Amino acid sequence: MTATKATLLLLATLAGCGTSPPVQLYQLRADPPGLVAAPASSGAATWALGPVVLPDYLDRDAIVRTSGQASLVSNPGERWAESLRDAVPRLLQQDLARLRGSDSVWRLPLPPGVAAARQLRVEIQRLDADSSGRSVVLQARWTLIDSSGASKPVVAERRIDVAVTGNDTDALVSAHRSALWQLAQAIAGQP
C-alpha cells in the first residue's frame, strides 16, 4: 500500500469516528395535559412567583434518568430544547395563571403598577425518571409569603409520581409535563 493510500484510509477512518448520532430535541409543551377548568374566581389575590430554584444536576440540556443507588445517565442524542431553569418557572407561572386567573400570577420582577399580595417561592428538589423509566418523580417545596407580613408564611411539600405511558423519550417528556401540571394544581389549592 502506498503512503498516499494509507493516509487517505486513515483520514476516512478518522472522519467516520468524528460523526455523532443525530440529536433529538424535546420540549415541555405549553399546554397542560387534559382539560383545563376555568379559574375558580376572577378576584384572586395577586401572587408574585420567584424565585424558582432547581438542583444543579438539572442545569444541563441532557435528559437524565436515575440509575442504581446514586448515578444519573443520559443519552447524548436526547436533549431538552430549552433550559429547564427557563422552562419550569415559565410553565409554572402559565399553569398557575390558568388555574387562578390570568392576572393573578406574575413572575418577578413585577412590572410597574402591579402589586402582589403574596410571594410564591418554589424549590424543585427532584425532577427525573426513576431507575425503571416507568415513572417521573417530582419533589417540590414551596412557600407563600404574605407581602404585608400580617400572616405567617405557608410552607408545603409534595412528591408527585407520574407514570410514563410509553417506552420512548417522548412519553417520558410528557410525564415531566404532567408532573409540573400537578404541581401547579397543588400550589393553586393553597389559600
Give the count of domains, the chain.
1
3-state SS, residue 95: helix
CATH number of the structural domain spanning residue 69: 3.40.50.10610
Which portions of the chain are predicted below pLDDT 70? 1-20, 35-42
Q: What is the pTM of this model?
A: 0.85
End-to-end CA distance of the chain: 81
- Sorted by sequence, the CB contacts under 8 Å of residue 129 that are 6+ apart come out as 64, 65, 66, 135, 136, 137, 164, 172, 175
Position 7 in a domain: no
Range of the domain at 75: 45-188
- Model confidence over 73-95: pLDDT tens digits? 888 899 999 999 999 999 999 99
